[in-house]
A and B are shown apart, each in its own frame.
Chain A
Amino acid sequence: MGHPVLNVQSVTMAFGGLRAVDDVSFDVKPGEIVGLIGPNGAGKTTLFNVISGYLKPTQGRIFFHGDDITGKPPYDLAKIGIGRTFQIVKPFAGLSVLENVMVAVLLKHPSKKNAEANAHAVLEFTGLLDKAHMPASSLTLPGRKRLEIAKALALEPSLLLLDEVMAGLNPTEVKETTGLIQQVRDRGVTVLLIEHNMRVIMSLSHRVIVLNYGEKIAEGSPKEVAENPLVIKAYLGEEMAV
């Protein structure tokens, strides 16, 4: 079709005087996994909030499969195929894990019976099936992160925005989740991923975008980015440089 899945054009998001995202532009092509990195407070989550409709950008436009989606509310974006997770997880605490996922499944499968079957499948895929009937509030933080992924996947999105879903996982668990994301991509889902774990970023992403103080300071293959002196200075630190 030629349209990128996501096209961000000169997006600026200002809070009062603070430009949390400052004139950022980039594309995400179908089937890509794109990493988004940058120091704490660089504006990554804010950018996600803009793309997924939680914030209305101060300036700039956003296109999804070629359609202008700037300023559309999150629930409409979810319907057309943008799924996201939250860095500060937002489970439906009083509902069971299964019910949490069912809420998402209902979007595409409005009948209750279908929804339940589908939700089971999603839980199995994400490895949460044994916790299906536990209340979401009893999950630990990483468990909740996994639930975030499950819910976002249950929407059957074409674009998945993942905000630090690996934070708090130990290396082995990180490996599992990395595999999971690869499988998701193999199902044809495009992924935009925020992560501080460079191992993950290096191994998963086709392309990496780096933000610093709201501005895009670098973009390129993982290797290029990791060698970029600006990125090393702002983000990786000398010790981490490859």
Chain B
Amino acid sequence: MSLLKVEDISVYYGDIRALWGVSFSVEQGNTVALIGANGAGKTTTLKAICGLLPLSDGRIIYKNQNIANMPVHQVVEQGITLIPEGRQIFPKMTVEENLLVGSYLRRAKAKRSKNLARVYELFPRLAERRKQVAETLSGGEQQMLAVGRGLMQDPDLIMLDEPSLGLAPVIVHEVFSVIKELARTGLTVLLVEQNVHQTLKIADYCYVIERGKVVKGGHSKDLEEDSAVREAYLGF
């Protein structure tokens, strides 16, 4: 049964329509990727799921419950976490404080120390820098912090919006191995990436979004073979 089912959602920015009835579903325990050209509506979709943007139409079924237009702080309380585009860490707080904010949720508060240990284990670099002010971290470290902060929320579904953006190749590699590791521990992952090559390698399932609509969906391996996808998104 699907953990998340997005049904025919539409979103407007003022008068401009960004999503035209997007539908897809994410199975428990899977890693699912959304790919598409820039401006296709991937970020918009993730934000809409979180309640950061109001839906004009459609339903979002999560754990058999419609969470469409639920305020964001309640959505995350249900176990959905978004690692936003551009990291959005709290610049003046220390690394550890950033992580602690992650466990502000009621669902995560009790597991605070356990999760903290887990994050530090996953990202030893963050452990080294726990007292450092977040804004002085390098881009890669900030990305780790953002992921770590998301994990502190003890999510069931983690959504990542272009986590490799602007990172050095060596770090990009690290980020992807972290995502693989997360999936291995049983977390459900919804990933938006422009690094389509690597994404298709780690995702079980993939949807293609074009101009605010899902135009294709399938197993990653199948899509990798699909000539239209290869031409549009892989540069072949």
Contact = CB atoms under 8 A, between A and B. Distances in A.
Asked if chains A and B are in direct contact (CB within 8 A), the reply is: yes
Interface of A: 37-41, 87, 138-143, 164, 167-175, 196, 198, 234-237, 239-240
B138 interface: yes
B37 A38 contact: no
Contacts of A175: 235
Interface string B180-224: 000000000000001011000000000000000000000000000
Contacts of A37: 168
A164 B166 contact: yes
Given A140-B39, A169-B38, 13 more contacts: A38-B168, A39-B140, A41-B138, A140-B38, A140-B43, A167-B165, A170-B194, A171-B197, A172-B37, A175-B235, A235-B168, A235-B170, A236-B170
Contacts of A237: 169-170, 173-174
Given A168-B194, A196-B168, A40 B139 contact: yes
Nearest to B193: A170
Contacts of B1: none
B170 A240 contact: yes
B39 A41 contact: no
Interface residues of B, number: 33
A168 B16 contact: no
Contact of B168 (A40, A141, A173, A174): A40
Contacts of A164: 166
B116 to A, nearest CB: 24
B138 A141 contact: no
Nearest to B174: A237
B231 A172 contact: yes
Contacts of A171: 194, 196-197, 233-235
Contacts of B35: 170
Contacts of B194: 168-171, 173
B168 A39 contact: yes
Interface string B121-154: 0000000000000000111110000000000000
A168 B37 CA distance: 10
A24 to B, nearest CB: 18
B178 interface: no
A226 to B, nearest CB: 10
Nearest to B137: A41
A14 B191 CA distance: 38
B39 A143 contact: yes
30 contacts: A38-B168, A39-B171, A40-B139, A40-B167, A40-B168, A41-B137, A41-B138, A138-B16, A140-B38, A140-B39, A142-B38, A143-B38, A143-B39, A167-B165, A168-B166, A170-B37, A170-B38, A171-B194, A171-B233, A172-B37, A172-B233, A172-B234, A173-B37, A173-B38, A174-B235, A234-B170, A237-B169, A237-B170, A240-B170, A240-B173
Interface in B26-65: 35-39, 43
Contact of A40 (B43, B138, B162): B138
Contacts of A170: 35-38, 194, 196, 233, 235
B39 A142 contact: yes
A164 B140 CA distance: 15
A168 B170 contact: no
A172 B232 contact: yes
A85 to B, nearest CB: 14
Nearest to A134: B16
A41 B139 contact: yes
B172 interface: yes
B29 to A, nearest CB: 26
Nearest to B171: A40
Given A142-B38, A170-B37, A172-B231, A196 B167 contact: yes
A118 B168 CA distance: 37
B234 to A, nearest CB: 5
B159 to A, nearest CB: 17
A40 B165 contact: no
B39 A168 contact: no
Contacts of A235: 168-170
Contacts of B36: 170
A140 B37 CA distance: 11
